[in-house]
C-alpha cells in the first residue's frame, strides 16, 4: 500500500486536521506494516495556476522554455504522487466555508485534461481510478454536509471527477461550539475507517 499524506492547515501544531491525518495514516500503517508514506505539507506553498502555467502545462509547447519546464515539472510531481498512491489522506480544514487556498491550488495542479481526466462522447471520465481518499474535515462552526459546507461536496466532486470515487470523511466539526463533542465524532469516524 502506498499512502499520500497531505496537510493543508495554516495553524501548525494547533491544527486538528493535522492531528487527524497523522492518526489516520498511523492506523493505515498499523494494519499495513509494509505501507510506504509520501508526505506533503501544502502549507509550504503550492503555486496557483496562471497564464504562464496554462501556456506551459495545458498548451504543452513542443519546445518548452526553461521556465515552462519548471512549471511542468512542479505539476507533474504533484500528479505523480497521486498516480502512485493507493490511498490519499487529505487534511481539509474549513476556512471561510470552503477548502484552503493551498488545497485548491493543489487540485488545480493535478486536474489536467488527458492526464487525470478526459472528455468522451458520454461526458468526462476520471483517469485516477482504483484509489481511496480519506478526508480529515475540520471546522470551527461549519457542520459537515450542512448548507454552509462548501468544502466537502467540492472535494468529493473534484476527486470523483478525476476518478477517485471512494471518498470517506473523518469530521471534527462545530469545534467552537463543543470541542469535546467534535473530537468525539471524529474519533468515532476514525474507529470505523477500515484499514
pTM (whole model) above 0.75: yes
Q: What per-residue string of b and e applies to 162-176 under the rule 16 or more CB within 10 Å gives b?
A: bbbbebebbbbbbbe
User: Is 16 within any annotated ligand binding site?
Assistant: yes
- Residue 65 labelled as part of a binding site: no
Question: How far is the C-alpha of 64 from the C-alpha of 119, rounded, in Å?
Answer: 25
CATH 3.40.50.360 fits 2-46+84-192, yes or no: yes
Q: Is 87 annotated as a binding residue?
A: no
Give pLDDT tens digits along the chain (195 positions).
999 999 999 999 899 999 999 999 999 999 999 999 999 999 999 999 999 999 999 999 999 999 999 999 999 999 999 999 999 999 999 999 999 999 999 999 999 999 999 999 999 999 999 999 999 999 999 999 999 999 999 999 999 999 999 999 999 999 999 999 999 999 999 998 875
Give the relative orientation of helices 101-110 and 66-84 as an angle to the nearest 10 degrees. 90
Cell of 77: 510531481
Classify the phi-psi angles of 96: left when phi > 0, otherwise alpha if psi is within -120 to 50, otherwise beta: left
Amino acid at each position: 500500500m502506498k499512502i499520500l499524506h497531505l496537510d493543508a492547515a495554516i495553524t501548525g501544531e494547533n491544527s486538528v486536521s493535522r492531528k487527524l491525518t497523522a492518526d489516520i495514516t498511523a492506523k493505515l500503517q498499523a494494519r499495513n506494516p509494509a505501507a510506504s508514506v509520501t508526505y506533503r505539507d501544502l502549507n509550504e506553498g503550492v503555486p496557483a495556476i496562471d497564464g504562464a502555467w496554462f501556456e506551459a502545462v495545458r498548451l504543452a509547447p513542443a519546445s518548452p522554455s526553461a521556465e515552462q519546464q519548471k512549471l511542468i515539472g512542479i505539476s507533474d510531481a504533484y500528479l505523480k504522487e497521486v498516480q502512485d498512491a493507493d490511498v490519499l489522506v487529505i487534511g481539509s480544514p474549513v476556512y471561510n466555508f470552503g477548502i484552503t487556498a493551498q488545497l485548491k491550488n493543489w487540485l488545480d495542479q493535478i486536474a489536467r485534461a488527458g492526464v487525470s481526466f478526459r472528455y468522451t462522447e458520454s461526458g468526462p471520465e476520471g483517469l485516477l481510478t482504483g484509489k481511496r481518499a480519506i478526508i480529515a474535515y475540520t471546522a470551527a462552526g461549519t457542520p459537515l454536509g450542512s448548507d454552509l459546507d462548501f468544502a466537502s461536496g467540492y472535494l468529493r466532486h473534484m476527486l470523483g471527477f478525476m476518478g477517485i470515487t471512494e471518498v470517506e470523511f473523518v469530521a471534527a466539526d462545530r469545534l467552537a461550539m463543543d470541542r469535546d463533542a467534535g473530537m468525539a465524532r471524529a474519533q468515532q469516524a476514525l474507529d470505523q475507517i477500515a484499514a
